[in-house]
């Protein structure tokens, strides 16, 4: 399926794909499209010969037509309606002392509906607010409460990485993120470092988490007895990215060894397990938990 990538404005995602439905388009063209708040005017950013990741059960929204002179003139009236609606809503929120933050205002292309997006920590009774706005703007009013991540995606910002926020450019769905992901990646558990511009855990913590999980499976756990070329010892720490471990030898010395260079790895020891030495050819006492196969050559 041929698709086009559409820009719906500064407060919307910049990479939404649309089905042109046979309309010949090129980057820079203004078009009328279907949006979640009704019809809207948009600009074509790029064209694509196909969109392979789109599921058949989820059809793409449609490009209705190339924008006409009348459509472009109507855009000015829409913008004035949005500006007027935002000013009125902010004033009424202040007057009523409502605990909500107005984030964005969107009017449909035919001006039959104006949608107000707001953020609040709790449920808000905005019935009277809706009535007053409807009387003033003479159109249907919708109030939509959005989450903190949605606020960041609408307002946009530059993240600590120096790039536009992922939620502003391409991220459409927010998967669960936990502090455990930061622990697995060895990051300092500093809330100011782990939080994104929205105040929640950074979405990018999930991007590499599967890689860290895979690398962790390749390394012996802390407390595991191992046999390294330098001798037998216990794993004290792991460096996931370098795929190496810190081993404390029998004489107390600590060395860093690549996991691939370990000769043998035993199961992790319990805290109360005896930690007798293995001599050199394996475990005779069973204290360290290392079993060496018979007739194994350690030379």
Per-residue DSSP letter, 288: S
Query: Two tokens at 282?
Result: 């394996």
What is the number of H-type helices and E-type strands within the chain? 7, 13
74-146 and 220-265, same CATH topology = no
Q: Where are the domains of the chain?
A: 3-67, 74-146, 150-205, 220-265
Beta bridge partners of 245: 238, 257
Please give the class, per CATH, of domain 74-146: alpha beta
Whole-angstrom distance, CA of residue 213 vs CA of residue 273: 28
pLDDT at 154: 85
User: What's the start-to-end Cα distance of the chain, in Å?
Assistant: 62
Yes or no: say if 228 and 257 are a contact pair by the CB < 8 Å rule: yes
CB atoms < 10 A from the CB of 244, how many?
19
Q: What is the pLDDT of residue 144?
A: 93
Asked if residues 44 and 23 have their Cβ atoms less than 8 Å apart, the reply is no
User: Along the chain (299 residues), what's the average pLDDT of each consecutive run of 10 residues?
Assistant: 68 70 85 79 80 61 87 87 94 94 89 92 91 93 92 86 85 86 88 89 91 88 89 89 89 89 76 43 39 38
Strands 16-18 and 38-48: unpaired
pTM recorded for the entire structure: 0.67
Strand order in the sheet with 113-119: 101-107, 113-119, 140-146
Classify strands 113-119 and 140-146 as parallel, antiparallel or unpaired. parallel
Distances from the Cα of 131 to the Cαs of 38, 120, 139, in angstroms? 21, 20, 10
- The CATH code that applies to domain 220-265 is 2.30.30.140
The CA distance from 164 to 199, in Å, is 16
Give whole-number Cα distances, 244 to 52, 236, 257, 259, in Å. 39, 11, 5, 5
């Amino acid at each position: 399926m041929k698709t086009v990538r559409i820009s719906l404005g500064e407060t919307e995602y910049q990479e939404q794909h649309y089905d042109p439905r046979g309309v010949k388009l090129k980057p820079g063209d203004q078009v009328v499209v279907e949006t979640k708040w009704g019809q809207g005017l948009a600009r074509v950013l790029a064209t694509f010969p196909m969109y392979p990741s789109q599921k058949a059960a989820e059809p793409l929204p449609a490009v209705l037509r190339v924008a006409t002179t009348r459509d472009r003139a109507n855009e000015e009236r829409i913008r004035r309606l949005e500006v007027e609606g935002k000013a009125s809503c902010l004033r009424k929120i202040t007057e009523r002392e409502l605990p909500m933050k107005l984030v964005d205002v969107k009017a449909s292309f035919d001006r039959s509906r104006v949608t107000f997006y707001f953020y609040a920590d709790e449920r808000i009774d905005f019935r009277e607010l809706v009535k007053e706005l409807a009387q003033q703007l003479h159109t249907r009013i919708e109030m939509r409460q959005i989450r903190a991540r949605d606020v960041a995606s609408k307002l946009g910002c530059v993240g600590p990485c120096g790039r536009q926020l992922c939620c502003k450019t391409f991220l459409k769905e927010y998967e669960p993120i936990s502090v455990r992901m930061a622990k697995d990646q060895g990051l300092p558990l500093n809330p100011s470092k782990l939080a994104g511009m929205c105040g929640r855990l950074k979405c990018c913590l999930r991007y590499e988490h599967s890689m860290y999980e895979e690398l962790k499976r390749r390394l012996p756990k802390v407390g595991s007895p191992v046999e390294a070329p330098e001798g037998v010892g216990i794993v004290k720490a792991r460096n996931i990215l370098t795929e190496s471990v810190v081993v404390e030898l029998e004489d107390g010395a600590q060395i860093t060894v690549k996991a691939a260079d370990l000769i043998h790895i035993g199961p992790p020891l319990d805290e109360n397990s005896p930690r007798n030495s293995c001599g050199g050819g394996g475990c005779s006492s069973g204290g360290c938990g290392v079993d060496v196969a018979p007739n194994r050559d350690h030379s």
